[in-house]
Every structure is written in structure tokens, then in C-alpha cells.
Amino acid sequence: MADQQHEWILRLGDDALVLAQRLSEWCSHGPALEEDIALSNIALDLLGQARALLTLAGQREGQGRDEDALAYFRTDREFRNALLVELPNGHFGDTIVRQMLFDQFAVLRYEALASQTVDLELAAIAAKALKEVRYHAAHSAQWVVRLGDGTEESHQRVQESLNVLWPYTAELFEDDAVSQACAEAGVLPLNGSFTARWTEQVRAILDEATLTCPESTALLTGGRSGKHTEHLSYMLAEMQVLQRTYPGAEW
Amino acid sequence: MSAPKTEWPLWEVFVRSRQGLSHKHVGSLHAADATMAISNARDVYTRRQEGTSIWVVKAEDITASTPSDKDVLFDPANDKVYRHPTFYDLPDEVKNM
């Protein structure tokens, strides 16, 4: 039970950390100054969530690992994020579609976490994060609509982004022994219980964006058990190089 | 990413701060429409808890007085000292005047 507690908090923390790192790659490369700042703000929000969650995961684990130990001294196989958030940024449309698909899920997950009363520390982190991810969700949905319902080219390009990213979404709703234990403890309902609302909300956004919801039932999965795409290792190499070269370095 | 064919229009941003009673001009930004302008203004100008309310106005919708009219518009008030609101003692209770 204690192991599993640590495990499900790691999943939350790693989703936030890995997506924060990905989005921060946009810093100074955004399509417009204003959007550059928006993406950087979102990256920083996610990083803040990751810090709180990984700190808590470290405490629950009880092995003396803090947020930095968890972020910088685990290998890719030890990361528990969903595959969707580790995928490369691609073009702006790819990033925005990935963000919309994840944000819609993150809002539902944090809503549930914030309203449970079993784990109050986790509820407090979720309540703070919820305000942030609601803004992220509004921002990404707005952009998906603009691009989908924009020019012929922007429509075509985000439709392609959606087709490529869609098979990665099913992993978010998968359940296993860890999420079942989490649900039995009353902390978070089964991931599968979010599917209907998520699908409804995402379809509404896609309809407004005049995009076609892919029919694919392919399931790309493995992140929760540490089986990642090759992209994560490259990302971690860059993220971790300094701490691994000079352990404990501060500035 | 290829460069946009046309620049987004310019918007002037006004933010009401926590203690402030009125919206103050804080700067400008580019956005495709009003919704995006509010969204961008939130990200660019209120990151450090500056604001409680945002107005955006299309820069082209603002009519400004021309600098060359400065003398005609403003100088005549200079020598009418009796109009200058400097002769009154304001009670301390009046905080915002």
C-alpha cells in the first residue's frame, strides 16, 4: 500500500515534470512573443506542480529522496509518465494538440484529487494545480479551434497532429494494480472512469475546430511501467546532464 | 514555422491593479482578436499578480491628440491659476482624489 501510494504520486509528478521540460523547449522559439511567454508560463506552472508532487512522493517513499533526486537521478525506465507527454514538440500545432489532449485529462484528474478527503496533502496540491490547469485547458482548446477552424493549411496540419497523437491518449485511461489500489483507498477514482467525460469534452472542442476525431483504437502504452519511447532518454540526457556531471551542484 | 503572412493587429492593454481604482495603460501586444488579446495580456502583463481586471483596445480604435496641438490644447490653462486644484486642504479621510 505504501509502495503503491508513492507510485501513483510519481505518475502524477512525472506527467507534470516531463511535459514541463518539453514545453520549456519552446522558450524563445514560440511562434509569437506573446505565445512564447504563454507556453513558458504553462511550463513553469507544470514544473511547480512536479516539484510539489515529487517532494511528496519522496516523503511517502521514505528513502530520503527529495524532488531533485527523483528528477535528476532516475533513468528513463524509472519514469512513470504517460507516453503522450514525452513525445517531441513537433510544430506548434503538434504541441498544442498534445497539450489539449493532456489538459482535458489533467483537469478531470485534479478535480477528483482536490475533492477527495483521504489524502489531504495531495488534495491541497491538486486544488492549487487545478486553477492552473483550467487555464491551460482554456488556452490549448482555444488554439486547437483557431488552427482547426483556421486556414486550409492549418486545418490540415492539426488534423495530422491529431491523427498521430490520438493512439497515445488511451494510455491515460488505463488501470492496473496501482490505480486500483489508489481507487480503493478513495484517493482517485479509476482512470477509466474519466473516459466518458474526457471524450465528450474533447469531441466538443474538435467539433468546434471542424476536426475529425480519429477512429483509431490502437493503443500505445507502457509509460506507467517504465517502458518509454526513445524520445524520453534523449530528453532526460539533456535535463539531467548537469546534476549527473556535478552531483549536488547549486547556483 | 513559416512567417505569418500578415501581422496580428496591435492591442493596447489596460490593467486594474489590486489597490488601483482605475485601469492603467501597461503596454501593447499583438493578437488575432479580442479573446486572444485578453489571453495574451494575462500572460504578458499579469504574471506577477499585478492585476484584477484587464481591458484591451485595438490600437487603431484609439484617437489621440496630436503633439503639434499641445500648445493650443493645454497652454491656456497654465496662466489661469485660480483653476488649479491646489488651494484646497484635503481631509485625510479622502484617500483617492
pLDDT tens digit string along B6-19?
789 999 999 998 87
Q: The CATH number of the domain where B76 resides is what?
A: 3.10.20.520
CA pair distance A74, A14, nearest whole angstrom = 11
What local confidence, expressed as pLDDT, does residue B75 receive?
77
Q: Is residue B96 part of a domain?
A: no
Residue of A nearest to B39 (CA): A139
B1 lies in some domain: no
Contact A41 B43 (CB under 8 A): yes
Note whether A150 contacts B: Cβ–Cβ < 8 A.
no
Q: Is residue B54 part of a domain?
A: yes
Spatial contact of A13 and A53, defined as CB atoms under 8 Å apart: yes
Q: A33 and B43: CB-CB below 8 Å? A: no
Check residue B5 and give its pLDDT: 55
A142 domain-assigned: yes
Q: Say whether pLDDT at B1 is over 70.
A: no
> Total structural domains in chain B?
1
Question: Of A192, A158, A186, nearest to A172 (Cα)?
Answer: A192
Q: What is the pLDDT along chain A (251 residues), one digit of tens a residue?
A: 567 889 999 999 999 999 999 999 999 999 899 999 999 999 999 999 999 999 999 999 999 999 999 999 999 999 999 999 999 999 999 999 999 999 999 999 999 999 998 999 999 999 999 999 999 999 999 999 999 999 999 999 999 999 999 999 999 999 999 999 999 999 999 999 999 999 999 999 999 999 999 987 778 899 999 999 999 999 999 999 999 999 988 87
| Total number of residues shown for chain B | 97
Q: Judge: A41–B31 Cβ closer than 8 Å, yes or no.
A: no
Amino acid at B60: E
Q: Would you call A34 an interface residue with chain B, using a CB distance cutoff of 8 Å?
A: yes
Which of B1, B31, B47 is closest, CB to CB, to A34?
B31
Nearest to A71 by CA among A125, A14, A24: A14
Question: Any chain B CB within 8 A of the CB of A139?
Answer: yes
Give the structural domain span for A182. Answer: 2-214+221-245
Query: Is A33 close to B30, i.e. CB distance below 8 A?
Result: yes
Closest to A148 in 3D by CA, of A163, A135, A136: A163
Q: CB-CB: which of A33, A38, A91 is closest to B1?
A: A91
At B93, the pLDDT band (50, 70, 90 cuts) reads confident
The domain in which residue B68 lies consists of 10-83
Nearest C-alpha of chain B: how many angstroms from A65?
31
Residue B19: partners with Cβ closer than 8 Å, 6 or more residues away? none
Q: Decide: A43 and A76 in contact? Cβ < 8 Å.
A: no
Q: Is the Cβ–Cβ distance between B15 and B54 less than 8 Å?
A: yes
Could you tell me which chain B residue has the CA closest to the CA of A93?
B1
- Let me know if residue B35 belongs to a domain: yes
What length does chain A have? 251
A23 domain-assigned: yes
Task: Identify whether B97 is part of a domain.
Answer: no
Burial of A29 (0-12, 13-18, 19+ CB in 10 A): exposed
Cell of B85: 486644484
List the single residue in A with minimal CA-CA distance to B29. Answer: A34
Higher local confidence (pLDDT), A79 or B64: A79
Q: Do B71 and B79 meet the contact criterion of CB atoms below 8 Å apart?
A: no
Residue A251 in domain: no
Say if A250 falls within a structural domain.
no
B75 in any annotated domain: yes
Domain with A18 in it: what CATH number? 1.20.1260.10
B80 or A46: whose pLDDT is higher?
A46
Q: Is position B67 within any domain?
A: yes
- Whether A35 contacts chain B with CB within 8 A: yes
The verdict on residue A110 lying in a domain is yes
Test B40 with A92 for CB contact under 8 angstroms: no
Contact (CB<8Å) B43/A142: no
**Does A142 lie at the interface with B, CB-CB under 8 angstroms?**
yes
Q: How far is B31 from chain A (nearest CA, A)?
A: 8
* pLDDT of res. A234: 97
Residue A29 distance to chain B (closest CA, Å): 10
- Taking the CA atoms of A236, A239, A241 and A244 in sequence, report the sign of the dihedral they define: negative
User: Would residue A35 count as lying in a domain?
Assistant: yes
Optimal mutation site among A27, A34, A35, A40, interface B, most CBs of chain B within 10 A: A34
SS3 per residue for chain A? CHHHHHHHHHHHHHHHHHHHHHHHCCCCCCCCHHHHHHHHHHHHHHHHHHHHHHHHHHHHHCCCCCHHHHHHCCCHHHCCCCHHHHCCCCCHHHHHHHHHHHHHHHHHHHHHHHHCCCCHHHHHHHHHHHHHHHHHHHHHHHHHHHHHCCCHHHHHHHHHHHHHHHHHCHHHHCCCHHHHHHHHCCCCCCHHHHHHHHHHHHHHHHHHCCCCCCCCCCCCCCHHHCCCCHHHHHHHHHHHHHHHHCCCCCC
With contacts defined as CB-CB under 8 Å, which chain B residues touch A91?
1
Domains identified in chain A, total number: 1
Amino acid at A79: F
Contact predicate A93/A154, CB 8 Å:
yes
